[in-house]
Structure 1
Amino acid sequence: MRNRIWFVFLWISGVYQVIAQNTIEKVVDSLYKEDQFYLAVTYNLFGNRPVDLSQNGFSNGLHLGFMKDMPLNKRRNVALSIGLGYSTNSFYHNLYISQDENQVTTYDIILQSDTYTKNKFSNHIVEMPIEFRWRTSTPEEYKFWRIYTGFKLGYIFGNRVKYRGDLGDIQYNNIKVFEKFQYGLNLSFGYNTWNAYLYYALSPIFSKENQINGESIDMNNIKIGLIFYIL
C-alpha cells in the first residue's frame, strides 16, 4: 500500500512538472518590448567655447523618462521608439552673467579663478527622444547588446544662474538668456546593464542676441555618461 502511495505521489509530481514547464513556455511573451524606462547620468561639456572661457567643477546631468518601444520586424530586435522625459543639468564655468535693473544682461569672462567660489547655471528640461534601435535580445534573453541612435527635442522650462565670490552672492531665476528649444543627436550602446551615452546639441545654449565683445555666444552642449535601461 505504501509503495502504491509513493508511486501515485511521484506520478502526480511528474505530471505537475510537465504542466508547469508547459505553462512557463506558454507565458513567454513573443510580442515583448524592451527598454521602456531609462535613467542616465552625464558629464556636461561646452562645445564651441569662446576664447578664455573654461569649465571648472563637475558639470553634471540627470536624465530619466519613458520610451514607447515599437518593434519593426518579426524577430523584434529592430525597433523605433519615441518617449517623454525629464532632464536637469548644471554647468560650472568662468563666465560671469549679470543683469541690471532693466534686465539688460552682460557677460564677462573671469580670468582669476580665486575671486569666486561658485559660478554656475542650471536648467530643467522636458524632453522627447526619438530613437532607432538595434539589439540582440530574444523573448527569453535579458542580457544583450544594443545600439540605439536618434534625435532628441527639448524645452527648457526653468533655469537658474548663481554666483558667489568677491562681488557678493548673486542669483537669477528663469532669466531670458537661454535658448528654450534644444535639439541634438544622441547615441547609446553597450551590453546588459552598462551602456555608454553620448549627446551632441545642434542648438546653442544661449539665445543668438547674447554676445561677448560683440560676438555671439555660440556654445552648445555635449553630454557623455552612462545610461541604464529598465524593461
Structure 2
Amino acid sequence: MKYFVLIILCFLSVEQLFAQEHVDIEVDSLYKEDQFYAGVTYNLLGKKPVNLKQSGFSLGFQLGFIKDMPINKRRNLAFGLGLGYSANSFNQNLLINRESNELTYSILAEETFTKNKFSSHLIEVPFEFRWRSSSPLNYSFWRIYTGFKVSYVVAHTTKHNGDLGNIKFRDIEDFNKFQYGFTLSLGYDTWNIYMYYALNPIFSDNVILNGEQLNMNAIKIGLMFYIL
C-alpha cells in the first residue's frame, strides 16, 4: 500500500509540472484529455449469503491509460478506451478448502481465524462516455465519466490462518476469469470519486454454499486520480 501512495504523490507532482508548462504552450483547439489514471478503492461484496461477513479493510488499487476520442466541436464530450491493471483483496469469513481433491466452501466463526481472504490481479479494459467542463486553456475542470469495464483475472490466491492451520491456494478453477461491470468517476481536477459495480459473480456457477449458488459480486468505492 505504501508503494501505491508514493505512485499517487508522483502523479500529483507531475501534474503540477504539466500545469506550469501549459502557461507557455500555444492554444490547441484540437486538445484531448488522454490520461494516465491511478485509483484506490474500498472493496465490498454484494449479494452475500446469510452469515457471510467482511472483516478488516479490503483494499484495491488500479492504474492505466485511457485514450480520449472527442465527439463534438467543443471537445467536452468524448469516448474513452483504455488499458490498465488492478489488484484487489477481500477479507471475509468464507473458508475455501480442498477435501478429497474437491474444493469446499463453508462459513467460519469470526473467533476461529486471524486472516481469511481472497485476492486477485486483473488486466482491465475500460470504456467510458466522458463529459467535462474543460477548454483548451482550462486544465482544472469538472468531469463525469460513466462507462463499462471488462477485466481478465490473470492470478488469484486464497489465504487462511486460523484454527485449521495455514491454508493457501493459487489460481483455483472456481474463480470467474472474466469480470465486467459499470463504472462511474465524478469530481473536479485531480480528485474524483470512483465507483464500480460488477454485473457477474466472482465465482463460477458451480460454486455451492449451503445448498445455494454463490452469486457474490464485487463493489468498489474510492478515489480516482487523473493526469494528462
2:103 to 97, 102, 105: 105
Q: Kindly indicate whether the alpha-carbon contact (under 8 Å) linking 2:205 and 2:214 is maintained by their aligned counterparts in 1.
A: yes
TM-score by length of 1: 0.87
For 1:20-31, list aligned pairs within 5 A: 24=24, 27-31=26-30
Output the CA distance in 2 between the equivalents of 1:125 and 1:170: 23
- Residue by residue over 1:56-77, the C-alpha shift from the partner in whole angstroms, topping out at 9 and shown as x without a partner, is 0110100111101001111110
Query: Partner of 1:199 in structure 2?
Result: 196
TM-score, length-scaled by structure 2: 0.88
| Aligned-residue offset at 1:194 | 1.2
Moved over 4 A (4+): none
Among residues 106, 130, 134, which one is paired with 1:133 in the alignment?
130
Structure number, greater radius of gyration: 1
Listed one character per residue, the Cα deviations across residues 189-225 of structure 1 (whole Å, up to 9, x for unaligned) are: 0011210000000010000100011100000000000
- Structure 1 segment 142-161 matched on structure 2, within 5 A: 142-161=139-158
Aligned to 1:68: 67
Q: What is the CA deviation profile of residues 82-108 of structure 1, one whole-angstrom value per residue up to 9, with x for unaligned ones?
A: 000001000000001001352x11011
Q: Extract unaligned runs of 5+ from structure 2.
A: 1-22
For structure 1, the 5+ residue unaligned runs are: 1-22
Aligned 8 A contact 2:195 2:219 in 1: yes
SS at match of 1:114: helix
The Cα shift of 1:52 comes to 0.2
What's the % identity of the aligned pairs?
A: 60
CA RMSD between the two structures: 1.3
Residues 1-231 of structure 1 mapped to structure 2, 5 A cutoff: 24=24, 27-100=26-99, 102=101, 104-111=102-109, 113-231=110-228
Hey, what's the Cα distance between the residues in 1 that align with 2:185 and 2:80? 13
C-alpha contact (below 8 Å) 1:145/1:192 kept by paired residues: yes
